[in-house]
Structure formats: structure tokens, C-alpha cells
């Protein structure tokens, strides 16, 4: 799990203190900028329609993504009309100052709905097997992409797919690091409590995902595995930043749906669409609705809070979200601070290493993550400090260079209507 044991943290803190005491710091402390660094990429205008909506509007649709240079790219089967794609993407393109000529078209071998059906079949077959990491309807290659932990799993997966009737040409199988749950903005006493700062439950540490009001109840959202029992509401108490620093309880877990075996869930597994839970504040004045702690810049390792981001909009309520592959997103979490990278895969059915759990229709991002970042907010920057909320981070690769989040639409699907700003 990517949550942190307080014992491990205490040992690390003592070790770090000993090293620091031996250093001769002759360099003055630099002034911390209060504005985002120049490499922050803004996103404005209407969101791209969801894949299901594009499929309804574009005959022959096979997938949409942003290419490496940011160009909007759509797969169309042979004989399909480009004009339909231009009409469906018109508002999105206009909002970004682009003409319909900017759309690139690639020839699709398969239609979106067919790939979706094959993804469902592959999920049921492949994710039953030990060593399967994820199953994705990959819009960048117009194929079903399956990640496995090692070469020994490839043969078993191919045999399972053959039994499910998937043609070999429709599937790409590749090695992938297993996805583990990531359970530090660390010891600040933050009142009111902003998203991104540390919380403590039991003997572990996680991050506040985002503040939200549900049914008039001032709350915050964090990862489901950042509770005493993942899936099922048992009233986990939360402290901020930790019970040892401030012993006043700030919130109590009030909503954490159980993991279930249902349609779309592989045999022998239990599934949900989000690794998310809601905790209600003991004192509603402690809720900083719409506010995310901001550090000095993305990907620089800073954990010093210099200001706040403001949530001014949410991603769509569609399962899987409406952010395209190639879009730039961010997260702020207690361990690795503010990290930023591009979406690499959307609506990925993802196995959780060491468990019988599968998270359905998740999003992968090529950006830094570490133990304790679980529960972090994920967002898209729309102006200097305004952001669009995208979802909740819950996992990442063992190497710390890829994180996984549950899109906002998945969270509301399971936790209900949430007011975030």
C-alpha cells in the first residue's frame, strides 16, 4: 500500500535530523516564488466530449487522444467521414483557438464499441490471473492493451483471451509495473484544512483529496484504503496532521461503499469504480471548500506551502471522466508534493497488487508519486491558480513515475452528488 506507517516515518525523521545536524549550510535560503512556474500548462474552454459521446456522434469512431505535440487526433474506420469528427469536436477546438484543420485522422482497424466489448471480455479473463496488472481500451493504438508483471504471464493471458474469443491482432500485451496503493505537506496544522495536506488515521498517513459538501454535511474525500477497513463504513477517526501533533479529531468516515462482485468484475475478484471514501468534519469551520495547498512548483520536490489553488470547476460526471490521453494533469500530496504529467491511459481496469480488488475504469498519469500520496487531489490547471478537479489518486507504480486516479465521475457514481467549490 502507498500509505505510510507512523513508526517508519518516525524512524526516517530521526535519521534525517541526524544527517542535517552534521551539515554546514552556508547557502542562504532562496525566496520561494508565489506564482506557478513557467512550465505549467493551462487548459481553458469546453472539455472534450466523453468517448461514449464521441462514439454516438461520429460513425466509425475508434478513439480520440492528444498526440505528443498536443494535436487532437481521432481514429476513424475506413470510409468514415472526417466532417462528423470535426462537428463533434467543434466547441472543444474553438475553445482552444484551434480550427477543424488541426484534427489529425488515423485509420482505425476497430470501432470503439467493439473494443469496449473486448476490453470487458479481457477484463473477465485476464484479470483473474495472477500477474495481470491492467486491461485498457487504448485510444492511442486502437487496440486492447494489457499489462502483465512478467513474461511468464503472457502465455496464460493469451490463452485466456483466446477462450474469450478475442482476435490476437486486437490485443497488445506488454510488461508493466504492478500497481500498489499509495497511503506525507506533512506536519503543518492546516486550519481550515486544504486538499493535499497530511491526515492521520490509525497508525498510517494519507492525504486529503478534496473538500466537498454532501447533503449539507461539510466533508473531505480521500482514498477508501485510507480508512481502517477498505470498503465498508466503520467510522474511522481522522487527525490533521497527526494525533501526536494535534490530538483533536477533525473528521469521521461516513461513507465508504463495499467492494462487490457484479457484472464486469472478474470472477474471484471484488470491484469498485473508485478508491474513494467521505469523511465528515467534526467542526464544519475546518473545511476549506475549493482550496488545494500549492507548493512552489511542479516536479521540484518542494513540500513548502506558498499559496492555494482554487477549484472552480469539476470534470464531467461520466464514468471514466472527460480528460483525453495526452492532457496535462497535476496532483498535490503529502509525500511528493506537486507533481505534473500527461495522461497516458483512460478507463483502465486495474488490479491492485497483493489483493483481490480491481478498480474499474481508472486513469493513468506519467508523473511522480510516493507512499503517503494516497487520497491526493488530481486536477487540471485552467489559469494561474484556478483548476478543474479531475479525481482522487490512490495508487502508482513501484518506481514512483506513474500514478493512478479514480476520475471525478467515478467518485460521484459511488459517493453521490458532491459540491466541491
**Same domain membership, residue 191 and residue 68:** no
**Same domain membership, residue 295 and residue 204:** yes
**Same domain membership, residue 339 and residue 239:** yes
Distance from C-alpha of 108 to C-alpha of 61, rounded to nearest angstrom: 8
Output the pLDDT for position 2: 57
Output the pLDDT for position 38: 34
State mean pLDDT over 103-124: 96
Structure letter (DSSP) for residue 17: H
pLDDT in tens, 199-249: 999 889 999 999 999 999 999 999 999 999 999 999 999 999 999 999 999
74 pLDDT above the threshold of 50: yes
Domain final residue pick, 176, 196, 227? 176
**Domain residues for 146?**
112-176
**Same domain membership, residue 288 and residue 140:** no
Output the pLDDT for position 263: 74
Output the pLDDT for position 44: 55
Query: Dmax over Cα atoms in the chain, in whole Å?
Result: 70
Nearest CA among 342, 341, 339 for reference residue 298: 339
Residue 58 sits in a domain whose CATH number is: 3.30.300
- Region at 54 (left for phi over 0; alpha for psi -120 to 50; beta for the rest): alpha
Output the pLDDT for position 262: 81
**Same domain membership, residue 361 and residue 224:** yes
Q: Which pLDDT band, with edges at 50, 70 and 90, does 20 fall under?
A: very low
Number of Cβ atoms within 10 Å of the Cβ of 15 = 10
**Same domain membership, residue 381 and residue 254:** yes
- Residue 130, in any domain of the structure: yes
Decide: 388 and 251 in contact? Cβ < 8 Å: no
Residue 295 sits in a domain whose CATH number is: 2.40.10.10
Domain final residue pick, 108, 129, 151? 108
- Region at 290 (left for phi over 0; alpha for psi -120 to 50; beta for the rest): left
Number of Cβ atoms within 10 Å of the Cβ of 415 = 22
Output the pLDDT for position 5: 54
State mean pLDDT over 57-70: 95
Q: Are strands 337-351 and 249-255 parallel, antiparallel or unpaired?
A: unpaired
- Residue 36, in any domain of the structure: no
Output the pLDDT for position 9: 44
**Same domain membership, residue 391 and residue 312:** yes
Q: How many domains does the chain have?
A: 3
Output the pLDDT for position 388: 98
Number of helices followed by number of strands (H, E) in the chain: 7, 25
135 pLDDT above the threshold of 70: yes
Distance from C-alpha of 222 to C-alpha of 374, rounded to nearest angstrom: 8
Q: Take residue 281 and report the three cell numbers written for it.
A: 468534519
pLDDT in tens, 171-208: 999 999 999 886 546 878 899 999 999 999 988 999 99
Residue 171 sits in a domain whose CATH number is: 3.30.300.50
- Residue 366, in any domain of the structure: yes
Output the pLDDT for position 26: 23
Domain final residue pick, 176, 206, 226? 176
Amino acid at each position: 500500500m502507498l500509505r505510510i506507517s507512523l513508526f517508519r516515518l518516525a524512524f526516517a525523521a530521526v535519521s534525517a535530523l541526524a544527517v542535517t545536524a552534521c551539515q554546514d549550510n552556508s547557502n542562504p535560503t532562496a525566496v520561494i516564488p508565489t506564482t506557478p512556474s513557467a512550465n505549467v500548462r493551462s487548459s481553458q474552454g469546453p472539455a472534450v466530449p466523453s468517448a461514449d459521446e464521441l462514439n454516438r456522434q461520429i460513425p466509425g469512431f475508434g478513439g480520440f487522444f492528444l498526440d505528443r505535440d498536443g494535436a487532437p487526433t481521432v481514429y476513424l474506420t475506413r470510409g468514415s467521414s472526417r466532417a462528423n469528427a470535426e462537428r463533434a469536436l467543434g466547441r472543444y477546438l474553438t475553445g482552444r483557438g484551434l480550427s477543424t484543420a488541426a484534427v489529425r485522422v488515423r485509420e482505425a482497424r476497430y470501432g470503439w464499441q467493439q473494443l469496449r466489448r473486448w476490453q470487458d471480455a479481457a477484463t473477465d479473463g485476464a484479470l483473474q490471473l495472477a500477474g495481470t496488472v491492467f486491461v485498457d481500451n487504448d485510444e492511442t493504438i486502437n487496440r486492447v492493451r494489457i499489462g502483465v508483471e512478467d513474461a511468464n504471464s503472457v502465455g496464460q493471458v493469451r490463452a485466456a483471451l483466446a477462450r474469450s474469443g478475442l482476435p490476437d491482432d486486437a490485443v497488445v500485451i506488454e510488461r508493466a509495473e504492478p500497481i500498489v496503493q499509495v497511503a506525507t505537506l506533512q506536519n503543518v496544522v492546516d486550519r481550515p484544512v486544504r486538499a493535499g495536506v497530511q491526515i492521520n488515521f490509525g497508525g498510517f498517513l494519507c492525504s486529503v483529496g478534496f473538500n466537498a459538501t454532501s447533503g449539507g454535511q461539510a466533508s473531505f474525500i480521500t482514498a477508501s484504503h485510507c480508512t481502517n477497513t477498505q470498503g465498508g463504513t466503520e467510522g474511522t477517526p481522522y487527525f490533521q496532521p497527526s494525533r501526536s501533533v494535534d490530538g483533536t479529531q477533525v473528521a469521521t468516515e461516513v461513507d465508504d461503499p463495499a467492494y462487490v462482485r457484479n457484472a464486469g468484475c472478474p470472477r474471484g475478484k471484488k470491484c469498485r469504480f473508485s478508491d474513494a471514501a467521505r469523511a465528515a468534519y467534526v467542526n464544519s469551520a475546518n473545511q476549506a471548500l475549493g482550496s488545494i495547498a500549492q507548493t512552489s512548483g511542479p516536479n521540484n520536490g518542494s513540500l513548502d506551502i506558498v499559496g492555494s489553488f482554487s477549484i472552480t470547476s469539476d470534470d464531467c460526471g461520466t464514468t471514466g471522466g472527460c480528460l483525453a490521453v495526452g492532457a496535462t494533469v497535476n496532483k498535490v500530496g503529502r509525500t511528493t508534493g506537486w507533481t505534473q504529467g500527461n495522461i497516458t491511459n483512460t478507463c483502465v481496469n486495474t488490479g491492485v497488487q497483493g489483493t483481490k480488488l480491481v478498480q474499474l475504469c481508472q486513469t493513468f498519469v506519467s508523473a511522480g508519486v510516493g507512499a503517503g500520496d494516497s487520497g491526493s487531489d488530481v486536477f487540471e490547471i485552467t489559469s494561474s491558480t484556478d483548476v478543474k478537479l479531475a479525481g482522487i489518486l490512490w495508487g502508482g507504480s513501484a518506481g514512483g513515475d506513474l500514478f493512478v486516479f479514480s476520475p471525478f465521475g467515478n467518485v460521484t457514481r459511488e459517493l453521490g452528488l458532491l459540491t466541491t467549490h
